[in-house]
């Protein structure tokens, strides 16, 4: 009987320790002043030489384009319609819904300059932004950037019948 009482008391003692001190711990919020560091800031800069754990994987994914397959084109179309079509329009003419509401029109993907641009250009613009377009690097994964670039090429080829027929003939040979 005394063992039961002792275990009940011990259990009650352990459960009483799970109070506010465990669920509401003291912490610094963004930009709160601190007395711990000499400069009074709670945020600390990263040590020199620190590398993001996923940086190498991202660099490898951006280094070379994947082989274009139906799955990649479908993925590119889906991502294009989510991220690009609001400004660039579904056909790539630069007449998306955002433009119709007064924002500056992006260039048409069917302009000579962008038709002749390498696929890497589109990946770089998605990654770093260009003009009034901001970077989508934190929204679009590297593999999706290549898929979007492939879909943009498909949109461009859809307007170039001579190039498309040459492409089909080359695929048959």
Residue 140 reports pLDDT greater than 60: yes
> Rounded CA gap, 162 and 144, in Å?
28
Q: How many CB atoms lie within 10 A of CB 59?
A: 10
Does residue 30 belong to any structural domain of this protein? Answer: no
Give the model confidence (pLDDT) of 68-121 as tens digits: 999 999 999 999 999 999 999 999 999 999 999 999 999 999 999 999 999 999
Which has the higher per-residue pLDDT, 33 or 96?
96
End-to-end CA distance of the chain: 90
Does residue 5 belong to any structural domain of this protein? Answer: no
Q: How many CB atoms lie within 10 A of CB 45?
A: 7
Q: What is the pLDDT of residue 22?
A: 62
Domain span at residue 104 reads 66-160
Give the model confidence (pLDDT) of 3-15 as tens digits: 788 787 877 766 6
Q: What is the pTM of this model?
A: 0.66
Number of domains in the chain: 1
**Structure tokens of 112?**
């000579």
CATH of the domain at 70: 1.10.760.10
Does residue 147 belong to any structural domain of this protein? Answer: yes
Does residue 17 belong to any structural domain of this protein? Answer: no
> Rounded CA gap, 88 and 81, in Å?
9
Does residue 172 belong to any structural domain of this protein? Answer: no
Q: What is the pLDDT of residue 141?
A: 93
């Amino acid at each position: 009987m005394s063992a039961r009482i002792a275990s009940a008391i011990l259990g009650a003692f352990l459960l009483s320790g799970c109070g506010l001190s465990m669920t509401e711990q003291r912490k610094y919020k963004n930009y709160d002043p601190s007395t711990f560091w000499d400069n009074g800031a709670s945020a600390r800069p990263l040590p020199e030489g620190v590398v993001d754990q996923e940086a190498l994987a991202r660099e490898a994914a951006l280094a070379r384009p994947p082989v274009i397959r139906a799955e990649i084109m479908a993925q590119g179309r889906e991502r294009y319609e989510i991220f690009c079509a609001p400004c660039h329009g579904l056909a790539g003419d630069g007449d998306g819904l955002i433009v119709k509401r007064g924002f500056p029109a992006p260039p048409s993907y069917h302009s000579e300059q962008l038709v002749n641009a390498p696929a890497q250009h589109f990946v770089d613009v998605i990654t770093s932004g260009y003009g009034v377009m901001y970077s989508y690097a934190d929204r679009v994964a590297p593999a999706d950037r290549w898929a979007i670039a492939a879909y943009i090429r498909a949109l461009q080829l859809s307007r170039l019948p001579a190039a498309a027929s040459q492409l089909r003939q080359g695929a048959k040979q």
